[in-house]
Structure 1
Amino acid sequence: MAIIPQLSLFAWEEIEELGDLERLRLVIEYMPDEQLMRVLEKERGKGRDDYPIRAMWNALLAGIVFQHDSDAKLLRELARNGQLRSLCGFNGKVPTPWAFSRFLHKVLMHQAEVEEMFDDLVRELKKIVPDFGKRLAIDSKAIKSYAANKNKNEKEDGRRDLDADYGKKVYRGTREDGTRWEKIVKWFGYKLHLVVDASYELPIMFSVTKASVPDINEAHHLLEKMEERQPEILKKAEILTGD
């Protein structure tokens, strides 16, 4: 059920005028997450249910909508904001950092279900927007790890970042006077690779890799994934741009 039916799909100024709670309500209403919820609830079984699966998932979505960059900030927001706790589904009890961290770990074990949700949303957009996918663009974005650099101790303990590595991007251009410039950006972490609809600036396919993975290599991989998961868009696409 649409909570604010008068909103048009791409009237961004209308969405921006909404408060964070209203945006979160829309996300919760439209997220096709029922399959993931059932899987996680089945795994929990008849164990302790101090923090319900659906409330924890809604809190995770809230962290994204509220743009909290750490679990600690999200949990502080939940502690002080009764409306947010109620919307997420908590009965006055905020999850502990340990409980939330464990929930995140469980979600990470279900990448297939998360990617299926993403594909469902893309399929819905294809129904709503007739020209969705005609103009495609591909690029990557650096994501820094919370770790400063690679840890010499490679023993997995849930705290060290053992998956990240070093990446480098070189940007080049020409100044107005005709001289060339070059800027090198280095980081320790990952890359988010995206294929997006260039007209609506909405993602169609994504992957996350180590920072060192070349863009061109992952671009081929993304197009192969599109051929498997979103073949209709590839057939309809007229333009694919990339740097």
Structure 2
Amino acid sequence: MQPRSRLEIILATLDFGPIIIALSKNNEQRRGPIGYRIEAKLNALIAMRVYNMSSFTQLVERLNHDPVFRYDCGFEAFGKVPSIATFSRFYDQLANSEALHELFKQQVKEAETMGLLDTSSIAIDASKVDANEKSVPRKDIKDDGQSANWGSKLDTNGNQITWFGYKLHIAADVKSELPVALSITPASTNDGIMAESIIKECSDNLNSKPQYYLMDAGYDQKSIYELIRKDYKAQAIIPLNHRGAKEPPEGLDWDATPICSAGYRMTYWGGSNGVNKFRCPHVMGKCDCPFGSSWCSDSNYGMVVKTRARQDSRLFTVPHRGTSNWKLLYNKRTGVERCFGRLKKHLGLETGLNVQGIKKVKTHAYLSVITMIASVVAINKNKSSSAFIAA
């Protein structure tokens, strides 16, 4: 017997039962020209992402010329296969049903149960998705929250890029770099506006609750800090966007470190439960204040200042900005960028986007992320089985 193919191993981890039931109920009278099974067509769409195919034409050609591939997808090894039009109609049905969301949620929970996700830190970001349709002038754009639009943002090198299409918003686990929540919006949608819905979906999809949400300066909005602190009992790790300010807030440095009455940065002395503690820099040997510690305090311990998140959750974070712990957490945010990179390079997030309309683009994104998680789940299940057999 031949060993199982990569596609077989991946498909074995997916349970299409709920999708099949949903599509069958909604389309009882529309089964396709020769009644191809829904499961086989779903398998074929996943196979497109596994082998990074860019169109239904490629898929049908592979099905016609490769009997093993055809059999792995669930079609008869020497029988007929669906046409391009059949796959296109099925894709429309799948997009309108939004049934893939539950399968994605199911995959996330399985990965968490298997210990593949750490979930203590979640990175959130957005990436451009070019539309596979003719661009239109800005003045003719339909600002309905559904149509493709013009977007603009800085890339990782600080260059301004502009595109016509959509944005893919993703929350990714920083340990596995797997997506745990996603959304598709027109390209003009501000990243910060989507933060609330992405965080909510992330919380709904995971059994455990994240401690930190990591985002770039584009999400630096006080409402996001407040939401994460009050509603999710977690901490937002976001660089401050000073928005052209010429001076830091009164009594603070640019990173929200208190400034003593003599004009020196106070020394961070730890934090917990939303409170950071700072001590006199002269007593701590960080500066040689001409007034000494007695200028601010009669105690040999020196003056102490505490900042509290409830005073201003945007400025005052635990751990404090600029500390090694804060930097260590923020550096993990690059995990979501690598997640985007794999989706685009290996799973056809951009090159395989031969569809139009936000519903179909979202379906394409779900197929890509479901395939990514299923691949990791399959690899780890295969390793466990091999270890069991060896034992």
Partner of 1:190: 166
CA distance in 2, matches of 1:145, 1:27: 29
CA distance in 1, matches of 2:155, 2:127: 13
How far off is 1:186 after superposition?
Answer: 1.0
Partner of 1:80: 65
CA contact (8 A) 1:150 1:164 kept: no
CA distance in 2, matches of 1:62, 1:231: 27
Partner of 1:170: 154
Partner of 2:347: none
Matched, 1:230 2:171: no
**The structure with more radius of gyration:** 2
CA distance in 1, matches of 2:83, 2:39: 16
**CA distance 1:201–1:99, shift in 2 (3 Å):** same
**Matched position secondary structure for 2:124:** strand
How far off is 1:188 after superposition?
Answer: 1.0
Partner of 1:22: 5
How far off is 1:94 after superposition?
Answer: 2.0
**Matched position secondary structure for 2:87:** helix
CA contact (8 A) 1:193 1:206 kept: yes
CA distance in 1, matches of 2:116, 2:62: 39
Partner of 1:239: 212
- Amino acid across the alignment from 2:112: K
**Matched position secondary structure for 2:168:** strand
**Matched position secondary structure for 1:126:** helix
**Unpaired stretches in structure 1, ≥5 consecutive residues:** 5-20, 155-161, 174-181
User: Greater CA deviation, 182-191 or 162-171?
Assistant: 162-171
**Matched position secondary structure for 2:169:** strand
Q: How many residues align?
A: 205
Match of 1:143 among 129, 138, 141: 129
Q: Percent identity?
A: 28
How far off is 1:215 after superposition?
Answer: 1.1
CA distance in 2, matches of 1:146, 1:41: 29
How far off is 1:78 after superposition?
Answer: 1.5
**Matched position secondary structure for 1:189:** strand
Partner of 1:211: 187
**Unpaired stretches in structure 2, ≥5 consecutive residues:** 217-391
Higher strand share: 1
How far off is 1:202 after superposition?
Answer: 0.6
Match of 2:85 among 98, 101, 104: 98
Partner of 1:18: none
CA contact (8 A) 1:136 1:239 kept: yes
CA distance in 2, matches of 1:48, 1:222: 35
Written as runs of structure 1 = structure 2, the 5 A alignment for 1:104-115 is 104-111=91-98, 113-115=99-101
Higher relative contact order (CA 8 A, sep 6+): 2
Partner of 2:74: 89
- Amino acid across the alignment from 1:58: N
**CA distance 1:82–1:73, shift in 2 (3 Å):** same
